[in-house]
Chain A
């Protein structure tokens, strides 16, 4: 059977939901870390993984690690299951929208 003919009952939506939620979490964590790195000097200093790039190196590296870890964990838990996709994709898109908002400097500077 080709992939195009595969029915939803054969391929559970869990893996897709895992990928989407993890991307939302990764984006949001990146935004939160970016603000924390800017506003909390000790945190910002601890995020300097590569000196020439400064705190951006640690902020992005940690966010990527958390995103990939979340993806692996959710995928392992959900890959063989059908999960409530509406709720999960809503949460993921809200996290993505929040991350976009928080990354805009005038908004991030409110904290």
Chain B
């Protein structure tokens, strides 16, 4: 059993940072709603306030790691150009997708959308972390502020979901291949 270093980086980018961010997002949306819904009368302790700040900051770190590894490590392998006359495009995912009308939309819509919309996630969640760090529990006094923050968090969830979905599908149709091979298990 073996795996390439490029496949490992794709996993770290998508399932590691991206997938974990999506999971984290689902909890934060529920938690923000639980705390700040119009009829929520739940007391929030200082410890919970601290945890929320740390959690949002950790989410911001995850989101940035996801887009940065995507844009600067995995994406260059995806968009690599094949030398003239290359018949087998297996190592060139973008060209492979574009070479077939049945798969070209995974690039023209999927990747073109994903590569930009994904950046809304770190921008939105960094803003949310900044507001939570600044206001803490006082946020309960600012209905419009927390509603706007919640909208941005929901959009970051949506953006990350779009990016993760297309990332997974594109990798399914034209996986990033190459790099050195790591032997995980050696068959006897």
A interface residue numbers (CB < 8 A to B)? 2-8, 10-11, 13, 15-17, 19-20, 22-23, 26-27, 30-31, 34, 38, 50, 52-54, 56-57, 59-60, 63-64, 67, 71, 85-86, 89, 92-93, 96, 99-100, 103-106, 108
Contact = CB atoms under 8 A, between A and B. Distances in A.
> Which of B71, B75, B115, B144 is packed against the most chain A CB atoms within 10 Å?
B144
Nearest to A59: B116
B27 interface: no
A110 B75 CA distance: 25
Contact of B108 (A10, A34, A71, A105): A105
B72 A53 contact: yes
Given A2-B137, A20-B145, 11 more contacts: A19-B127, A20-B127, A23-B123, A30-B120, A52-B76, A53-B72, A56-B116, A60-B67, A60-B119, A71-B130, A100-B120
Contacts of A2: 46, 137
A31 to B, nearest CB: 7
A4 B46 contact: yes
Nearest first, the 7 closest Cβ-Cβ pairs linking A and B are A4-B137, A52-B76, A3-B136, A23-B127, A89-B148, A6-B138, A8-B141
- Interface SS of chain A: helix, strand, loop or mixed? helix
B76 A53 contact: yes
Contacts of A52: 72, 75-76, 79
Contact of A6 (B67, B137, B147): B137
Interface string B151-176: 11001001100000000000000000
Contacts of A67: 123
Contact of A27 (B120, B130, B131): B120
Majority DSSP secondary structure for residues of B touching A: helix
A20 B146 CA distance: 10
B135 interface: yes
Nearest to A102: B116
Nearest to A54: B79
A44 to B, nearest CB: 13
Contact of B75 (A11, A16, A53, A93): A53
Looking at B79, B148, B152, the one whose CB has the most chain A CB atoms below 10 A away is B148
B69 to A, nearest CB: 12
Contact of A19 (B115, B130, B140, B159): B130
Interface string B41-53: 0001010010000
A86 B144 contact: yes
